[in-house]
Structure 1
Amino acid sequence: MNMILRARAPLRISFAGGGTDVPQYADKYGGAVISTTIDKYAYVSIKKTNSNGITVTSQNYDTVNSINIEEDHKNDETIRLVHAVLKHLNVKDTNLDINTTVDAMPGSGLGSSSSIVVALAGAHYRLFNKPFTNYDIAKISYKIERIDCDIKGGLQDQYSAAFGGFNFIEFNKSSVIVNPLRIRDEIINELLSSFLLVDTGQRRAYSEYDRIIENQIVKAEQNKGSTIENLHLIKKLAFEMKDLLLKGDIQKFGEKLGEGWEYKKSIDSSISNPKIDRLYQESLNAGAMGGKLLGAGGGGHLLLFAPIEKRNSVIKAMKKNNIEITGFN
């Protein structure tokens, strides 16, 4: 009987610190991110077959492709992540049937691409009985996505997906330290009753994502004063929000989301756009106390904080704009 191995890795919500995990900043100043994973996942199945060849089925793109590890697939979004994992891990077995699917498409701001790579890397380590730690998977996944595939970005997504849960993650030139946060159940319940995950309906292309990140990287490398200062403030906010979360000051935690969003927009005007700004302002008018766009910017999901007594008002304001609310835990 042919063995089938299945794996999954969670998507994430980043509350604060995004941008300080980019090596061009973190290697000089140290970075910090506070985030949590949610009940949305990237799924992978790998089956050894008797046929000669590697077949990759992407449920999200509705494609079936045969790939050759020695060929270049960097320009094919449907298979380039799978190809890069196989090549980086030096997989010799060419009789494989690989299926992938993810609960949110790349460009959603939820770290989907990184979760796919983490799930694929973990599955292959298990398939070929190689020992590994969560740190191993995260480090290798970063190299595959950011270096091999040349997809711009930081380190937080790979470590969030590999470890899961609420984490405060610190980055510097020599190491990454993942600090799991022990959050009381009543605080988690209050967070879930207050947060709204809003799908803006806009998906940024990889090219737009790369442009936003590349612009930030260039400014960090050139030590541009305003960019560096805003990243310092974003990092400081991550520490403050960690303390607020552990103390259970949820209202202040929610308000700080908006403060971080203003810092982030100051780095690059294309991080937001008129539609996103309008939706965010309408959520505030309806009673939200803070929020931010998730991911690098340009589209994806808004995370809004609304006290429970204002929750329905904010939902109605979003639905008037034909905007969907994404449920999560």
Structure 2
Amino acid sequence: MITVYSPLRISFAGGGTDISPFYERYGGAVLNTTIDRGIMIRYEDDGSSLEVSSRDFLRTALISTNNRTMENKIIDMFMENGINTGRVIMNSDVPPGSGLGSSSALINGILKMINAIKKRNVDPYELAKESYLTEKDKFNIILGKQDPYAISIGGLKYMEFRENVDSTQKFDLSDPFVKDLQSSILLVYTGNTRESSRSLQDQVTKSEHGDEQTMENLNKIKHLALEMSKAISAHNRNEVCNIINEGWNIKKSLGANVTNQRIDEIISYAKENGAKSAKLLGGGSEGFILLIGEKNGIDSLQRKMMLKSDFVIRVRFDNCGTRVINNYI
């Protein structure tokens, strides 16, 4: 039995600048963290035909099935590495497609699992690169580079992406300011999920055609990621909140499906009841809304937000990326 855990991530600033073709032309920058919610993947070789099952999709796939679902494509990944028998069981702490990088967490975890079965040690950056290419080419997902890298590396960090160079600056999670920040965060579920590729397609199309307004807005968002890094280093809580709000206002202009009436209503209600900043996570239209509340006011804010959503959660930052948590083979 092998068990792999792959954490989910939240992005504070810079999201969208890590998506091709923008980051290849101008360079992208993001600030994100992995959290203590994630995807658990278990594998046991029982000698029978390879089976992949997911509680979240309520679906099972076998090696002999021809339907090209995500589960079958995962089976292909195992078979390409000579793994033809056993059971793969996948469970997530949140619904798929909710803006927390769940598809990257899943693919990261599957690749980590395959490498563990084959007794191969892979550097987190190598794992991230393979995960990114797998999602983009095998699964045809439009995604930002930050997701596989953030999840593979773990921690609260500022990241820069260029065509051939990637760099990471991690923050100390034991820093009192960082601990205070994480204790002020709520995630509010909008009630629905979405396919990220659809939400991001409008931005990608505009970037490919060199739309001037889109390029200008993405460059502003990239600058905000650097400013967020400086604000955290300077322990400037007000600036952190202001940057999140400014970034969300710019992001709403990137595509027609970034926000909707329900999201706007939740964010407005949150700010009326103590939230200092708010933004939708992920590509847009549905998923989780990130809130930062006032110091010592998270309990009150959570109770009030539960009047708007059935799923309102506190989170902790996770300093580790995708990892094997037990291995009995």
Paired residue secondary structure (1:198): strand
Amino acid across the alignment from 2:19: V
Instruction: Specify the SS of the correspondent of 1:267.
Output: coil
In the other structure, the counterpart of 2:257 is 270
Residues 1:63 and 2:59 aligned together: yes
| Distance of 1:15 and 1:190 partners within structure 2 | 15
Change (3 A) 1:105 1:67: farther
- What is the number of residues matched between the two proteins? 316
- Corresponding residue to 1:5 among 2, 5, 11: 2
State the partner residue of 2:29.
32
* Structure 1 segments unaligned to the other structure (5+ residues): none
- 1:320 has 2:307 as partner: yes
Cα distance in structure 2, aligned partners of 1:72 and 1:27:
35
The equivalent residue for 2:95 is 105
Shift of residue 180, structure 1, vs aligned partner: 1.9
SS for the counterpart of 2:86 is strand
Q: 1:137 aligns with which of 120, 127, 151?
A: 127
- Once the two structures are superposed, the pairs formed by residues 141-152 of structure 1 within 5 Å of their partners are 141-152=131-142
**Greater RCO (Cα-Cα under 8 Å, separation 6 or more):** 2
More helix by share: 1
Partner residue in 2 for 1:211:
198
Q: CA distance change for structure 1 residues 8 and 312 in 2, over 3 Å: closer, same or farther? A: closer
Q: Is 1:43 aligned to residue 18 of structure 2?
A: no
CA RMSD of aligned residues (A): 1.8
Residue pair 1:286, 1:310 contacting (<8 A) in 2 also: no
Separation (CA, whole Å) in 2 of partners of 1:137 and 1:31:
20
Alpha carbons 1:165, 1:180 under 8 Å: kept:
yes
Distance 2:205 2:304 in 1: 38
State the percentage of identical aligned residues. 30
- Equivalent runs, 1:214-293 vs 2, <5 Å: 214-293=201-280
TM-score, normalised to structure 2, is: 0.91
Q: Which piece of structure 1 moves more, 194-203 or 136-145?
A: 194-203
State the one-letter code of the partner of 1:274. Q
Tell me: CA distance 1:6–1:313, structure 2 relative to 1, closer, same or farther (3 Å).
Answer: closer
Q: Does 1:120 align with 2:110?
A: yes
For 1:57 and 1:83, locate their aligned partners in 2 and report how far apart those are by CA, in whole Å. 10
Structure 1 residues 95 and 27, CA gap change in structure 2 (3 angstroms):
same
Contact 2:61 2:72 in 1 (8 A): no
Among candidates 169, 177, 194, match of residue 167 of structure 2: 177
Q: Is the 8 A contact 1:80 1:149 kept in 2?
A: no
CA distance in 1, matches of 2:309, 2:169: 39
Instruction: Specify the SS of the correspondent of 1:97.
Output: strand
Q: Per the alignment, do residues 193 and 181 of structure 1 end up closer, same or farther by CA in structure 2, a change over 3 Å counting?
A: closer
- Measure how far apart 1:31 and its partner are: 0.2
Q: Tell me, which stretches of 5 or more residues in structure 2 are unaligned?
A: 317-329
Poorly superposed stretches of 4+, deviation over 6 Å: none
Q: 1:93 aligns with which of 62, 80, 83?
A: 83
Kept in 2: contact 1:31–1:235 (CA 8 A): yes
